[in-house]
Amino acid sequence: MSSETANVAMHMSDGIVDAPTSLLFGLLALGGLAVCIWRSRAELDDKTVPMAGLVAAFIFAAQMINFPILPGVSGHLLGGALAAILVGPFVGALCVAIVLVVQALLFADGGVSALGTNITNMALIATAAGYLVAVVMARLLLPRRETAPSTRRLGVVAFLAGLVGTLCAATGFIIEYQIGGAGGTSASAVAAYMWGTHTLIGVGEGLITAATVVAVARARPDLVYLLRHRAPVDRSAQVGVPA
């Protein structure tokens, strides 16, 4: 892997994959975002709209902060699982996509020609995978009979969603590189590097996701999409603080 790729970690820069692959995933990203726009109408309400703005702003700011993983390798929040848990998978994907577009166009963080691959990996794959994990784990750890689920268990749900979402996004990178990698590095080396580093990055992603979701849930559980849509919610209920 090049030093640029190592430092960026998940953001793909121009030239990592060839032009046909960039075009293919650019079209895939556009199609995915079109579906998200169509489906997000069912998720948007008086609570979700302002929350979506706050989530996008938080992800934008958090992605500017890199945490070291290995020499020459740093990670940052992807935000897909976090956005999905707080505002829903479709609105969440749009929040992450908006952040990626702004970063690419105004801050040169991730190449413009790689915008389709970056949106596919971080906005679509990470968000969808993270939300699926969150829903499955919530059914196991947050019983419907509990109107005020434990924040400890909610934190576990959010952590696993962030970890798995990051690894799935890294897998998207690997697939794209196998299809049209232009970096001169073997696909097996890319896979080993991406899965190895993003297991560690995923731990950081999971911790940030868990801490943020728990903080919001303790203050305003009615603003957490996952809690509002797992069962009919008692609006006066507060998420319980673990003993």
Residue 60's CATH number: 1.10.1760.20
Q: What is the pTM of this model?
A: 0.85
In this prediction, residue 237 carries a pLDDT of: 44
What phi, psi does 74 have (nearest 5°)? -130, 150
- Tokens 């969808």 belong to 128
Tell me the helices (H) and strands (E) count for the chain, helix number first.
Answer: 10, 2
> 117 in a domain, yes or no?
yes
Question: CB within 8 A of 139, min separation 6: which ones?
Answer: 230
In this prediction, residue 12 carries a pLDDT of: 74
> 236 in a domain, yes or no?
no
**Among the residues of 88-186, which ranges form H helices?**
89-106, 115-118, 126-141, 151-180
Q: Place 73 in a pLDDT band, splitting at 50, 70 and 90.
A: low
Domain count of the fold of the chain: 1
Q: What is the pLDDT of residues 206-226, one digit of tens each?
A: 999 999 999 999 999 989 999
> 36 in a domain, yes or no?
yes
Q: What is the pLDDT of residues 91-108, one digit of tens each?
A: 999 999 999 999 888 877
Q: Place 47 in a pLDDT band, splitting at 50, 70 and 90.
A: confident
Q: Place 241 in a pLDDT band, splitting at 50, 70 and 90.
A: very low
Contact status, residue 117 vs residue 165, Cβ threshold 8 Å: no
> 242 in a domain, yes or no?
no
> 101 in a domain, yes or no?
yes
For residue 29, give its domain range.
Answer: 3-228
> 234 in a domain, yes or no?
no
In this prediction, residue 6 carries a pLDDT of: 42
> 240 in a domain, yes or no?
no
| Arithmetic mean of pLDDT, 37-46 | 84
